Structure 1
Amino acid sequence: MVGLIRLRKPVVLLAIISVFAAEVVSQGAARGQHPTTAQPAEIKSLLRSHYQIQLKLDFDARSYTGRERVRWVNRGGRSTAALYFHLYSNVRVSQPTGASGSTAAALTVAEADEPRIEVTEVSSAADNEQLTFVLDDHGTTLRVNLGEAVAPGGSAEVLVTFKGSVPEIDPEETSITTHVIKQVSAALRGEREIRRARDINFRCRGLMLLGTFYPVLAVHDGDEWQRKIEPSVGDIIFNEVADYEVSVEVASGVMVFTSANGLETKSEGETVKTYTGASLRDFAIVAGHGLRSEEAVVGNTTLRSIFLPQHERAGKSVLLAGTNALRIFTARFGPPPFKTINIAEAPLVAGLG
């Protein structure tokens, strides 16, 4: 779940609200026993999709490579022989229809200012057999053809290898002046600012935000896959809740914060941190050189403020304000359903806001 809090400076705080939960798959389920022996919470976990992602992030090159193991459970009433994934980073407000000459060159330049994700290989997790896949809908939908149809109540696990990149956003684009000009211009034209993938996938002002860096399963509603993505004034992300285990490898000195709890291991020149979270709608990453954080505890909830060193004073002020707000919320409505709430500093790209 992602929310935005504006500051007076041309920087916003991206609140990544995380739910941390222990692994709830019972030993009996792990041994293949019938799931009816599990408790209700354990059954729900078995029915949720599960992502196990290994990501190598090159902060300086604005690129990444990754591999994910995805488990999907067929909760519909019919068998299916294909899985569908969204590639949100490839969504464009206006899709190119083909061009030549100077127009093609202009499209190439414009594409360099957008995030991109590319799927390089898909295989079965059971036997590593290569699976055929197709990119549909201008490269925004990945269709994986399974070797065997998945019956109702059955599951499939696939391995997807991918790579991607994000653009460098001009700091001027995140200024208050630019925001005002864009919004006034849109109002004069009678138009609305449409959400773009680059709004949540970029590097700017020493920070990198990865909001849609991995292929994510499309929603399977009944027996139909909800494949279509329509950019609008609202959030472009439409996912089902899932469980995540994500390992992020970065160069030493690059700090990483995500939508889940993490355990860190270090080797020469590199740092690997593994994050786990249950029932998450999506998984976002904020990274940067020297990012700092401070925490406060309200009841059973940990509130964390994440900020750049030069904005330490603002980061501490945000933590204080957030702590007071959380205390008021808890007193009036009871404790929130979150074990940890991260408030992370990030530039606000013009068009998002």
Structure 2
Amino acid sequence: MIGRTLGIYFALRFLQSLTVIFFTIFGLIYMADFVEMLRRAGDVPNTPIVIVLLVCLMRTPSIAEQVLPFATLFGAMAAFISLTRKLELVVARAAGVSVWQFLAPPVIAALGLGVVVVTLLSPGAALMKKEADIIEAGIFKTQLSAQDSNLWIRQRGRDQQSILRADLAVDSGLRLSGVTVYVFDLKGRFVERVDAAEGRLLPGEWELKSALVTAPAVDPRQMEIYHLGTNLLPAQVAQSFVAPETVPFWSLPRLAEDTESVGLDSVGYRLRFQQLLALPTLLAAMVLIAACFSLKLSRMGGVGLMVLGGVGSGFVLYVASKLISDLGGAGMLSAPVAAWSPAIVANLLGGLTLLNREDG
């Protein structure tokens, strides 16, 4: 079995390479975001440069979190190539250490890093991203959220229930445009349909303007204001329009349940929660994939092709993950399947390749 000292050494070499690559990417993201924000701030007179720097710094951790798997892949490849070039892995193999034994410390380190990121760093990044969005909205006078893909809400009032659809929702869902409401009694019998140009949520009711009310066996009537009772609170609806990336990991399950309780779609929050749960497994898969392309002796040539193969594999995995994530967000796949399948398949492929090369 691999010794404790050697295992810690391999893990530290991996974490050292990962840290250098991650903060290099972090710096590039920060500079690119700062240049873009500075360009936008040029159209707003008297915008303090310190505020721009702060907003970019608060937004960067959330963006950099998305490239952590690639930083893990490149960090592992750099560590393994360095260890192979210095013949340290050759000596370890000669001493009877198998590939699975010297891969175990980096894999465990990747799993531990994933747990730390999910439980500690990701919630902090989400909170900073939320505050940065608020500051940015104040600077550029923009809306914090907008949804325009046929919003549907199921709700109840004191003596009725209704299904509300809107073409556009702004101001965190508190103001709607192109509103259509189907009103039913408490027994589920259809009562009337209401078509309104716009509406806004007030305590205990929706205020619909320029409403056309159509009911069975009754002539349609035009109403300047139509009051629709609701059990929704403004805070509940506004909370349901929060972007999943700005919600801390620990708050995602509760927010998903609250969103469903007000009749809104909670797929985004459930998918985000499952993706964060699967992050440690995905980081471990990146270590295995890196090992597939970086354990060859550099004196045998082909290092450039190996690195290119690792980068290509990471790109293919990213495209596949993005595609599956979009399918999950559209409701075509369940959130656990969409979040976990890329990580599990990547682990299986990496393990199978290593088995074939090392033990086959």
Same fold (TM over 0.5): no
Which structure dedicates a bigger proportion of its chain to strand? 1
Which structure dedicates a bigger proportion of its chain to helix? 2
Higher relative contact order (CA 8 A, sep 6+): 1
Q: Which has the larger radius of gyration?
A: 2
TM range (shorter): under 0.3
Per the normalisation by structure 1, the TM-score is: 0.22
Per the normalisation by structure 2, the TM-score is: 0.22
